[in-house]
Structure 1
């Protein structure tokens, strides 16, 4: 493809040089540039690609797409000036790959909690029904059966379009993907032809990036505002921000709920330690998922599947076969001491409340709830005392520990979490910085009928300390300790 062909449909401010040259490799990373490539200079959150134009040219770039023309132009290099390269990179990457999303049914899932579970269950439901499916998620990406490790909730637009192209080549009919607020705000999803969008819920998160809750809401809403009229928008009507997402949204509006009237109305019939009996639009089914929050996730999956054309009986049948997503309310039983450990990714106040409420309902007063939780470093510090306050309110014993401290001092993070606790709260709180020791302590304290929640990391198999990722898996620590229990 030539540069001129790549730019069709893109508003160009000015051009210097020959646009009838081949695009070559299209990249925003100057480190990957080689002879004949096209480099696009993007103004990112931390780095401005314009600072690396000279490096890209020295490594062989023959075309540079930018917002600001340099004072000195290099002979033989083509310069394309756009008003906003950040907003254009996804569109250009999509065009380079032949707009792959237009050949598949693509559904995005956004919200504070539940994105991974809903996207992954949709992938599994359609796989089980005999379709070729792609998945883009926090835990892992899939091109039908091929596993592609995930580095971000939503990849950068060039990588994202390359993955969509591979899904198209593999014959995928459907693609389900998480859409993070960062991705919407940074235009990573530009160029994707979405056929549907799902909104789960919205509570405080990522304010280290968005600064205010209003900005966070606006980023989520930006995704819904971009939907085409032929798409569907499915929102949780029990969440007060659900209808906010639909303002100015051109797509067809649908709702799922447990409390309010809805297109996909659910009712909890019975809760069990390892399953939940529910009713959805008159159909009864048994979920191998636990907790009210997972009932909402199941309603979203059922609704999206039927809106994509799956018969409701088939959607219910396959949904009843689905097991929990890795690291999401993942249950580990101690055979010797007869207590239950739950590993969950809950890393926001609302998610902690949801998981702990479920655990308290399962305990029914027959055992204690021991909660092990920390807070991530270099992230929204304002939620730390709130998380501790919510955790201690629904636990008999709280153990504050390290999560992924990243560049911060884990002891300082724990100190900030303690700011949300009263003197009475502290009487049932332990502070153990070493996460492994914190988990082991919880297991040693546990008695028959008790529940331990180890929250915050879920599926993650590392702990990031001072920029270094060290192997660490909450589930491994628990299982290793259970092997030697007396």
Structure 2
């Protein structure tokens, strides 16, 4: 696309140089990723400022610079376009350059503190079981049809995101199910994404390193619903799917122009309401009430928090036009998500649970579920991200672990440049219980926990799930919780 045509979508701009004959084929914010016909967008981040890499991008062949600060001394003869907000402009131009791909997909966006990944996998499974070819964008990986793409960010930067959506369209996907993080909303990564359904799971303490207050965090999540619009797409109006039991849904409901579907357990006025919840032998059943009818739901997932995830998925599928019976049938073959309440049985008679729980609310939900399962002891292994992450949740996280476990092992979980001793100091600061051990190396800590376990005990390994790395200092070191456990069990 000619630069003049592409930039016509940006009203407030100042152009230096001749752009009339420049053909833009690609957009990049990374000076290491420059191809023929690249528009290099200078993004000022919290740690790196793209304006300082202009010369490098120019040397590699960038055709155009888009900036918000003066780069005239670095740009040479390459044209420069100055705009007010390069993050927003990158999202808008990426959407246009890639042909507005989200408009050709049934888009489901899921936001909330906990449950996004499981809910996205549930929706994906229901859609696939009902004949849809799907794309998936989320924490564990991205997926286009059957192709799996590794990832670091829950929601990728806008240019990467729009490229993924374009690939989904070219692979004839019908739908895209996307986890939408608060970082993505705050940093304008999903601008241009035309969502059909927006799902809210819940809101609890997390990411205050970015948002500073819970009120700011809640308002950021709300953007997914206020931006949803009230237009008809694919013959249907947009839909907001809200957890009625979370207080923030009241505000989101008032501020979205879309039709609202509610789900819940405590509030019987929910459109999709669950009761008679029971589980045994790591299976769960409940009654689903909708418009006066009752549906029997069975799933291999356990825990009240997973009832909410299932309700959210059924609600989103209903908004897509998939009947409740069809969703219920699909759920019976859903076996779970790796690293989310993943159960490993051992020949010593104890069970190992691998779960991503890394927030107070998430950890409490998991431990409440495990307490209801027949057991002798619960041994919990947990740490907390170090560095510039939100350390204010540490007292609650440690207290919940200590009060709901028989033994706790504190260890590393992406400590970055912060000492384990300092992290543990925060974790134990709000509880006088002493039922804990500190072992800095996570592999050694897991081995200690497994050697401690006996018949009918439960060992909960919390915080990592299937995250494929451990951040030590500034290095992302390859790591697999499940492989670590299997290697230790093999030796034991």
Structure 2 Cα separation of the partners of residues 197 and 286 of structure 1: 25
Note the alpha carbon deviations across 1:421-447, whole angstroms, 9 max, x for none: 21xx11x22222222222222222222
1:135 matched residue in structure 2: 136
Structure 1 residues 97 and 71, CA, compared in 2 at 3 Å: closer, same or farther? closer
Answering whether residue 311 of structure 2 is matched by residue 299 of structure 1, we say: yes
Residues 146-166 of structure 1 show CA distances to partners (whole Å, capped at 9, x for unaligned) of 111112101011111000000
Q: Which residue of 1 aligns with 2:377?
A: 368
Counterpart in the other structure of 1:332: 344
CA contact (8 A) 1:340 1:451 kept: yes
Aligned equivalent of 1:349, options 330, 336, 360? 360
Number of aligned residues: 479
Change (3 A) 1:404 1:75: closer
* Structure 1 equivalent of residue 234 of structure 2: none
| Secondary structure of residue in 2 paired with 1:30 | coil
Could you tell me how far 1:73 is from its partner in structure 2? 8.4
Matched, 1:413 2:423: yes
SS of structure 2 residue aligned to 1:406: coil
CA distance 1:358–1:73, change in 2 (3 Å): closer
Matched, 1:174 2:175: yes
On the 8 A contact 2:239/2:260 being kept in 1, the answer is: yes
Counterpart contact for 1:278–1:287, Cα < 8 Å: no
Q: In the alignment, which residue of structure 2 is the partner of 1:393?
A: 403
| Gap regions ≥5 residues in structure 1 | none
SS of equivalent residue, structure 2 residue 255? coil
Q: Name the counterpart of 1:277.
A: 285
- Residues 198 and 54 (structure 1 numbering): CA distance in 2 closer, same or farther, change over 3 Å? same
Q: Does 1:214 pair with 2:215? A: yes
- Is the 8 Å Cα contact of residues 111 and 202 (structure 1) preserved in structure 2? yes
| TM-score normalised to structure 2 length | 0.93
Matched, 1:429 2:430: no
Q: State yes or no: 1:101 paired with 2:105.
A: no
Distance 1:444 1:67 in 2: 57
1:312 to 324, 328, 336: 324
Q: Look up the match of 2:118.
A: 117
With 315-324 and 32-41 compared, the bigger mean Cα shift is at 32-41
| Distance in 1 (alpha carbons) for counterparts of 2:63 and 2:443 | 52
SS of the residue corresponding to residue 318 of structure 1 reads helix
Computed over aligned residues only, the root mean square deviation of the Cα atoms, in angstroms, reads 1.7
Map 1:163-312 to 2 at 5 A: 163-229=164-230, 230-260=237-267, 261-281=269-289, 282-312=294-324
Structure 1 residues 74 and 201, CA gap change in structure 2 (3 angstroms): closer
Question: Which residue is 1:474 aligned to?
Answer: 481
Matched residues in 2 for 1:289 and 1:37: separation?
46
Deviations 1:16-54 (A, max 9, x none): 333332013321112223554211122223222222233
Distance 1:443 1:8 in 2: 62
Q: Which residue of 2 aligns with 1:452?
A: 459
Structure 2: segments with no counterpart, 5+ residues: 231-236
> C-alpha separation between the residues in 1 aligned to 2:200 and 2:98?
28
Kindly state the Cα deviation for residue 116 of structure 1 after the two structures are TM-superposed.
Answer: 0.7
Match of 1:18 in 2: 18
Deviation digits for residues 227-277 of structure 1 (CA, Å, limit 9, x no counterpart): 111311111111112222233211111111011121111124311131101
Report deviation, 1:71: 4.8
> TM-score scaled to structure 1, two decimals?
0.95
Query: SS at 2:413's partner residue?
Result: coil
Secondary structure of 2:484's aligned partner = helix
Deviates more, 1:406-415 or 1:309-318: 406-415
The 1-side partners of 2:108 and 2:153 are apart by: 18
Residue 29 of structure 1: SS of its match in structure 2? coil
**Residue 61 of structure 1: CA displacement?**
2.3
